[in-house]
Structure 1
Amino acid sequence: MSTEHRDDSWHLAEGDAITPELTAVKKLGGGSAYEAYLAFDEVTYGPVVVKVVRPTSLDDHTLRGLRREVESLARVNHPVVVRGLRHQLDGPRPHVVLENLDGPRLSTLVRRHGRLSEQQYLPLAIEVASALHYFRHVDLCHLDIKPSNVIMGAPARLIDLSVARSSAAAARITGAIGTDRYMSPEQCDPGRRGEPGHASDVWGLGATLFEAVAGHRAFDDGDRDADDPVLRHPQLVDRPRALPAQVPDQVAKTVLAMLDPEPASRPLPHEVAGALEPVLAGQPPARLSFKVRH
């Protein structure tokens, strides 16, 4: 949810210049430190997305975060991950220019239409799993896998690397980083519940896929104002809600395995794809290569 205030926006309307090369078309949204605009780019001569630091957030902390995102984008070259085109980390409007992706967010589809069909959720799960497999090879943890960060297209596209970091850097995290409803237990309570890392992204994909399959989230909302991690994050103590009875058994087992509270017990991304590909192809279920807790 945006925390924008009246004096915490650039208030750019259609036709306004973000920079001499970038002309605002419309505002797309934003968060506490950034706002995003659809813009026309004179350099690529086409539409792009520009993520701009808010005027009241031009501090060292936010700029370090923007630099980290730019560095993460530079490390990634995968067909399921948004591409960074260029950036400016100094000047009056620090920003990153991203490719414009055609398609709705998964969160929008679920909100408007409810649960997805198998022909919708299976490809997105397999495609995002391929991105997570790739992340392991380039040593990058996304740490914010959620429906609003998945653009539904052919293929699905994963966006927003604003909190991404290496596995070593993720393991050093001492506070909750991510989005409350989709954070793995070790992200909710790092240290006591384990170290955030690559397995955290598998959990995030599991929570995202659960929502696509069921039409509702896997866990109830917590108290977002609570200091106690257990009150704030029900996923620390609760089991996932039940999936609809018509969900294929192979899909249900895979989703629940991804939501295992123990990071080491979750399937690897390529195992997720391997378990779901036969369902998409209408073939007999593959033998699961990972354990499923009951």
Structure 2
Amino acid sequence: MNKEKVSFGSIAIELGLTTHEHVMECIMIQNQMRAMGIVPKMIGEIMLDKGFINEDGLRKIIYTQAQKEGRIQISGYKIIQEIGRGAMGMVYKGMQLSLERIVAIKVLSPRFAEDMKYVERFLKEAKSVARLNHQNIVQAIDAGISSGVYYFAMEFVDGPTLSYILRRGGAMDEKRALNIITNIAMALQHFDKYGFVHRDIKPSNIMLTAGGGMAKLCDLGVAKVPVKKEGDESQQNVLVGTPNYISPEQARGEEVDIRSDIYSLGCTFYHAVTGEVPFKSENSMSVVMKHLYELVAPPRDKNSLVSGEINDIILRMLAKNKAERYQKPEELVMALEEALKKQEAAFLQAEEDKNASQQRGKGKFPRVSPRRRGSSKSRRRLK
């Protein structure tokens, strides 16, 4: 029995789209066609002709088969390797053949591809990113459907997520964390300029370039876009976000604006400098309730190395009442940049002090000319 037949048929059965009996019947038809000297149809075509599966089912089987065999096909792109998996699908490193450039390709999982709600959310992310052009936002390149596969090609960021860094190393150096958060605050400034709200700011949605030189915001799948259409469920005030980083108003299902993203970025900043999320509990609902009603422990209580200025910035970002937070990303960026200038000035001063100390340790004092014996002053004292 041909390996391709078994593979296609077994996947169809595994996905619950047909039965073993139907698969065997199609294989029998294919063998009969071959015996009669007729070029046989593919198993999928026969199953479609017999009504055992529909077009959506066929696409799902082909996609799953390609995925299992590591040969996802997307027109205009070459898949190089899988680099990540998310709730809704896989992410591949690939090459855009027309420009010979490396890209990241997000592919929607076949189990979600059958539900138009998820397809719309997936394509919405691509359209949202395409409308935003900023160095701290992962750039969109292309999106569509190819060989039954929904895909979204975007800028390839050759570094880890902030989440990965925090899992491996715990609390970050304050200056490094400050640089990352400033980058993302600048991205939010661009978001706000065009009326967007991200609604899911968290470490796993922050990518770092190789060497950690720049941070970029990604995953706009649940972003709130400026134009609200009648009956668009994705724009309704449903509970979206991640419990560890969700704002109080978002947790209540209220209308959200950019101040909600500032709160979530504050949670991320807190996590970066302390190595812990603001609130911890056994279950997600309890964490959400703490965001609503419990005062957060100051970052300095968790990490004494956190400066007073950064401590105060984070606490303002995490104000329960959104009217008490930074009202616009511009305000936050100004506060962060001012803190960054002070950090750099303090670093330079520390370096100068260190160098001066090293020079003293080597005995390199300023040269003073020795007084000659028998100077006029000493001679006067002897008279």
TM-score, normalising length: structure 1: 0.84
Q: CA deviation at 1:142?
A: 0.7
Give the equivalent residue in structure 2 for 1:3. none
- Can you list the C-alpha shifts for 1:9-65, whole angstroms capped at 9, x where unaligned? 846379624313223222222333222112222133122111111111112101111
Query: Which whole-Å CA distance do the structure 2 matches of 1:55 and 1:165 have between them?
Result: 25
Counterpart among 180, 183, 186 of residue 249 in structure 2:
186
Query: Which whole-Å CA distance do the structure 1 matches of 2:112 and 2:160 have between them?
Result: 28
Matches within 5 A, 1:47-126: 47-58=102-113, 59-89=115-145, 92-126=148-182
Matches within 5 A, 1:273-284: 273-282=333-342
Conserved? CA contact 2:90–2:107, under 8 Å: yes
Conserved? CA contact 1:167–1:197, under 8 Å: no
1:133 matches 2:189: yes
Conserved? CA contact 2:73–2:146, under 8 Å: no
Give the equivalent residue in structure 1 for 2:331. 271
Q: CA deviation at 1:276?
A: 2.0
Which structure's relative contact order is higher, taking Cα pairs within 8 Å and 6+ residues apart? 1
Conserved? CA contact 1:173–1:190, under 8 Å: no
Query: Which whole-Å CA distance do the structure 1 matches of 2:135 and 2:69 have between them?
Result: 30
Q: Which runs of 5+ in 2 are unaligned?
A: 1-13, 16-59, 347-383
Counterpart among 303, 312, 321 of residue 253 in structure 1:
312
Matches within 5 A, 1:193-208: 195-208=255-268
Q: Matched residue pairs, number? A: 273
Conserved? CA contact 1:221–1:233, under 8 Å: no
Report the more deviating stretch, 161-170 or 253-262.
161-170
Change (3 A) 1:70 1:32: same
Question: Percent of pairs identical after alignment?
Answer: 28
Greater C-alpha radius of gyration: 2
Conserved? CA contact 2:244–2:288, under 8 Å: no
Partner SS for 2:149: coil
Report the more deviating stretch, 241-250 or 164-173.
164-173
Q: CA deviation at 1:259?
A: 0.8
Counterpart among 174, 182, 198 of residue 237 in structure 2:
174
1:28 matches 2:83: yes
Query: Which whole-Å CA distance do the structure 2 matches of 1:221 and 1:93 have between them?
Result: 39
Q: CA deviation at 1:230?
A: 5.4
Query: Which whole-Å CA distance do the structure 2 matches of 1:264 and 1:277 have between them?
Result: 22
Q: Which amino acid aligns with 2:256?
A: P
Counterpart among 196, 208, 212 of residue 272 in structure 2:
212
Conserved? CA contact 2:157–2:208, under 8 Å: no
Report the more deviating stretch, 166-175 or 269-278.
166-175
Conserved? CA contact 2:136–2:187, under 8 Å: yes
Q: Which amino acid aligns with 2:157?
A: L
Query: Which whole-Å CA distance do the structure 1 matches of 2:87 and 2:158 have between them?
Result: 25
Give the equivalent residue in structure 2 for 1:292. none
Partner SS for 1:47: strand
- Can you list the C-alpha shifts for 1:51-92, whole angstroms capped at 9, x where unaligned? 111111112101111222122112100110000001105750
Change (3 A) 1:180 1:231: closer
Q: CA deviation at 1:172?
A: 5.6
Report the more deviating stretch, 138-147 or 90-99.
90-99
Report the more deviating stretch, 23-32 or 137-146.
23-32
Counterpart among 144, 156, 161 of residue 215 in structure 2:
156
Partner SS for 2:98: coil
Partner SS for 2:73: strand
Change (3 A) 1:231 1:118: closer
Counterpart among 18, 32, 45 of residue 73 in structure 2:
18
Query: Which whole-Å CA distance do the structure 1 matches of 2:129 and 2:77 have between them?
Result: 20
Question: RMSD between aligned alpha carbons?
Answer: 2.6
TM-score, normalising length: structure 2: 0.65
Query: Which whole-Å CA distance do the structure 1 matches of 2:261 and 2:206 have between them?
Result: 13
Conserved? CA contact 1:213–1:247, under 8 Å: yes
Conserved? CA contact 1:105–1:147, under 8 Å: yes
Q: Which runs of 5+ in 1 are unaligned?
A: 1-5, 286-294
Conserved? CA contact 1:118–1:280, under 8 Å: no
Change (3 A) 1:245 1:186: same
Query: Which whole-Å CA distance do the structure 2 matches of 1:46 and 1:87 have between them?
Result: 16
Change (3 A) 1:201 1:232: closer
Partner SS for 1:26: strand
